[in-house]
Amino acid sequence: MNLTLATDDTGGPEIFASLQGEGPSMGLPVAFVRLSRCNLACTWCDTAYTWRFEGDKRPHRDGIAFARKANQVTLSPAETAARIAALGQRRLVITGGEPLLQAGALAEMLAHLPDISVEIETNGTVAPPARLDIRVDQYNVSPKLAHSGNPADLALIPERLDAWASEPRAFLKFVIAAPADVDEVLALQQRYRFRPERVFLMAEGTDSATQRARQAWLSALCLKHGFRMSDRLHIHLYGDTRGT
Number of helices (H) and strands (E) in the chain: give both, helices first: 9, 10
Compute the distance between CA of residue 7 and CA of residue 190 in angstroms, rounded to an integer.
39
Mean pLDDT of 202-228: 98
Beta-strand relationship, 15-19 and 29-34: antiparallel
Does pTM top 0.85 for this prediction?
Answer: yes
What pLDDT is stored for residue 1 in this prediction? 92
What pLDDT is stored for residue 216 in this prediction? 97
Q: What angle do CA 172, 174, 179 make, to 5 degrees?
A: 140
Compute the distance between CA of residue 229 and CA of residue 222 in angstroms, rounded to an integer.
6
What pLDDT is stored for residue 52 in this prediction? 97
What pLDDT is stored for residue 163 in this prediction? 98
H-helix segments, 134-207: 152-155, 158-165, 181-192
What pLDDT is stored for residue 181 in this prediction? 98
* % of the chain residues with pLDDT over 90: 100
The string of pLDDT tens digits covering residues 73-113 is: 999 999 999 999 999 999 999 999 999 999 999 999 999 99
What pLDDT is stored for residue 16 in this prediction? 98
- Length of the chain in terms of residues written: 244
What pLDDT is stored for residue 109 in this prediction? 98
What pLDDT is stored for residue 60 in this prediction? 97
Compute the distance between CA of residue 158 and CA of residue 150 in angstroms, rounded to an integer.
15
Mean pLDDT of 55-79: 96
What pLDDT is stored for residue 170 in this prediction? 98
Tell me which H or E stretch contains 4: strand 3-6
Beta-strand relationship, 170-176 and 29-34: unpaired
